[in-house]
Amino acid sequence: MTKTQYYTATSIDGFIADADNSLEWLFEAASNGIADDRFGRFFAEVGAMAMGATTYEWVLAHERLLDDPGKWRGFYGDIPCWVFTHRDLPPVPAAALSFVQGDVGPVHERMAAAAGDRNIWLVGGGDLVGQFAERGLLDEILLGVAPVMLGGGAPLLPRRLGADRLTLQDVEHDDRFVFLTYRVGHE
């Protein structure tokens, strides 16, 4: 059965990007192998993705994807990606992108159909993931907690999810990161 999963890294103080919407802090705190293994296993099961406009713009700029659009395929293959946005964004040539806005429910149905028996990865940001959670469409949260305190920035998930909805499923660590997997119960 298809699961909708939020797989992301977070600082100890709960931010997924710094005040400038950058992820550079994450690359400075690189893990020693477990993170790559975990992500590889996770990504092998992904059949569709969704991200917000800010995440998409950061990936475009950081990886210079408009100058080298083949990198998108190197990162994400042919996995279809829905970008939630209220503004015009440049598409990456030959990427399987759909720019959408509005209610996440109908888009989730299309994503699930595209994913087939694989999972949906909510790449970020936190507000977009919160919209899926509010609709009861978020099944798991997979976190890599980095040894960094950012003091501000984009929050992990700017919604309240109480302990009655979150069940810890797995804990793993290396010498830098702690990896947590939570099942999200639906109201």
Read off the pTM. Answer: 0.95
> What does the alpha-carbon distance between residue 56 and residue 90 come to, in Å, rounded to a whole number?
10
Beta carbons within 10 angstroms of residue 131's beta carbon: 19
**What is the CB-side half-sphere exposure of residue 124 using CA atoms within 13 A?**
25
| Backbone conformation region of residue 129, classed left if phi is above 0, alpha if psi is from -120 to 50, else beta | alpha
186: three-class secondary structure by DSSP: coil
- pLDDT per residue rounded down to tens, the chain (187 residues): 899 999 999 999 999 999 998 888 988 887 677 777 888 999 999 999 999 999 999 999 999 999 999 999 999 999 999 999 999 999 999 899 999 999 999 999 999 999 999 999 999 999 999 999 999 999 999 999 999 999 999 999 999 999 999 999 999 998 889 999 999 998 6
The structural domains of the chain, ordered by start, are 4-184 (3.40.430.10)
Token couple for 110: 């299309």
116 cis-preceded (ω within 30 degrees of 0): no
Residues 6+ apart with CB under 8 A from 77: none
